[in-house]
């Protein structure tokens, strides 16, 4: 059974919140499974409704004028008996009722029942859900399994994970035996990825051909959702962007080249498609920042961006068996820079970081720049033996105007530090998290 971090937050909601809960994320990341699992394990009295599988119930939600109407009509349609103060209504594929957000406040205010909402971000607009009045709705975002979840699914025990965590915090070497073992898991993660069905198949059978079939089916589901876009030219554009992304990441310069879709194409024609794919949870965007200093968003140049797959396994499934085999056997003759970058981008995204990159003709390019603990942290990702060659990140760290106190270089090798440079095994991107928040201020008297 897969252990998901999001389930801890769902359990917290079950045991301690009166708000409505929204669990969002792309298709196939495990939202429904995790919600159902948590409700069942907590012995909750709940009714599950899937508005895609049960479209005849959509009018019940659209036409019920009060909570009493809703419960009476649902009881009649499902033979489920609601118990005030106990029952939880779990509505899956909630995007099928477009104005449901306007009802959330009244449902929660009425107070007789509790509500879990879930929906895919593909081909739908869930933005309105997030505009619900503060205090009535909390959201949990789900992603593919991150690398730590993958390690636990692969039966790596907690003692090993705690050792890795300690080494990361203290910047002490992991040790050859454990390092080599975890690197093998990381290379497998590049091929299997974090989509739950793919991970389950890998754990149960170890058959990568079956894993690949699952990944291909997921990508086909995604493409079917792309066709729900209302404008025909937008449908084709989204599909073209998605299909072009893997080849862009194999290039030395990983910035998205618009002319690969159509000669003379400009960013303005593609911007809405990039935003749609990102909000759908299918891709991760890294925009260019003109300076690696606070605030990165204010220095953002939107017309320059990199695109990464939301799941590295879905990405590598499109590269063919030969390359994936070379990944699994750690063939050092193959440049895996773009694939490594995708894995790091995926990890940062799952841990709540917005990511940028920085490029200067004079100083070179930084793969990623993030804001961590109110500081700018540049990141380089190196898949080869020359990981110590990084003039761009060195120049950025040495520039007093940027006030950079540390820089991460992710490599195939064990931990070492050199001044501001912190060399980390690439798998340790799983430990990058925000450790502080905004300060708590006393009232001004």
298 near 200, Cβ under 8 Å? no
Architecture of domain 6-141 in this structure:
3-Layer(aba) Sandwich (3.40)
* pLDDT tens for each residue of the chain, 445 residues long: 799 999 999 999 999 899 999 999 999 999 999 999 999 999 999 999 999 999 999 999 988 888 999 999 999 999 999 999 999 999 999 888 877 777 888 889 999 999 999 987 654 555 555 555 567 889 899 999 999 999 999 999 999 999 999 999 999 999 999 999 999 999 999 999 999 999 999 999 999 999 999 999 999 999 888 877 656 667 888 888 899 999 889 887 787 877 777 777 777 777 788 888 888 899 999 999 999 988 898 888 877 889 999 999 999 999 999 999 999 999 988 889 999 999 999 999 999 999 999 988 888 899 999 999 999 999 999 988 887 778 889 999 999 999 999 999 999 999 999 999 999 999 999 999 976 566 667 677 6
Burial 114-132 (b: 16+ CB within 10 A, else e): bbbbbbbbbbbebeebeeb
Instruction: For the chain, give every residue range classified as CATH 3.40.50.12060.
Output: 6-141
pLDDT in the model for residue 362: 83
Two structure tokens written together for 313: 């396994």
pLDDT in the model for residue 98: 77
Q: Please tell me the pTM assigned to this model.
A: 0.92
pLDDT in the model for residue 443: 74
């Amino acid at each position: 059974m897969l252990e998901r971090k999001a389930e801890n937050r769902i359990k917290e909601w079950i045991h301690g919140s009166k708000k409505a809960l929204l669990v969002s994320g792309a298709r196939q990341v495990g939202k429904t499974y995790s919600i159902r699992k948590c409700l069942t394990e907590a012995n909750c009295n709940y009714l599950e409704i899937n508005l895609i599988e049960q479209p005849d119930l959509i009018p019940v939600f659209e036409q019920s004028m009060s909570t009493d109407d809703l419960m009476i009509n649902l009881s009649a349609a499902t033979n489920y008996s609601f118990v005030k103060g106990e029952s939880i209504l779990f509505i899956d594929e909630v995007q099928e009722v477009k104005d449901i957000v306007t009802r959330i406040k009244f449902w929660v205010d009425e107070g007789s029942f509790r509500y879990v909402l879930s929906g895919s971000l593909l081909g739908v607009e869930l933005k309105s859900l997030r505009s619900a009045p503060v205090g009535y709705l909390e959201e949990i975002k789900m992603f593919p399994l991150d690398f730590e979840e993958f390690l636990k699914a692969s039966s790596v025990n907690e003692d090993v994970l705690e050792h890795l965590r300690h080494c990361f915090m203290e910047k002490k070497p992991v040790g050859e035996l454990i390092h080599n073992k975890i690197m093998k898991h990381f290379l497998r993660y590049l091929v299997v990825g974090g989509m739950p069905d793919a991970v389950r198949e890998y754990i149960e059978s170890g058959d990568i051909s079956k894993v690949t079939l699952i990944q291909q089916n997921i990508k086909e589901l995604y493409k079917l959702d792309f066709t729900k876009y209302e404008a025909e030219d937008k449908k084709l554009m989204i599909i073209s962007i998605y299909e072009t992304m893997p080849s862009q990441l194999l290039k030395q310069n990983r910035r998205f080249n618009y002319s690969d879709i159509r000669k003379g194409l400009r960013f303005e024609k593609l911007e809405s498609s990039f935003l749609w794919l990102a909000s759908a949870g299918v891709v991760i965007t890294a925009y260019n920042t003109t300076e690696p200093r606070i605030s990165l968003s204010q220095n953002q140049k939107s017309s320059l961006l990199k695109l990464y797959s939301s799941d590295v396994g879905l990405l590598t499934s499109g590269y063919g068996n030969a390359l994936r085999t070379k990944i699994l056997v750690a063939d050092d003759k193959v440049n895996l820079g773009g694939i490594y970058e995708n894995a790091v981008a995926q990890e940062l995204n799952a841990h709540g970081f917005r990511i940028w990159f920085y490029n200067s003709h004079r100083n070179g390019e930084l793969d990623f720049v993030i804001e961590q603990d109110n500081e700018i942290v540049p990141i380089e990702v190196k898949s080869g033996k020359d990981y110590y060659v990084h003039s761009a990140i060195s120049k950025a760290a040495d520039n007093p105007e940027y006030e950079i106190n540390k820089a991460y270089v992710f490599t195939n090798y064990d931990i070492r530090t050199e001044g501001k440079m912190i060399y980390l095994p690439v798998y340790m991107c799983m430990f990058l998290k925000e450790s502080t928040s905004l300060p708590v201020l006393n009232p001004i008297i």
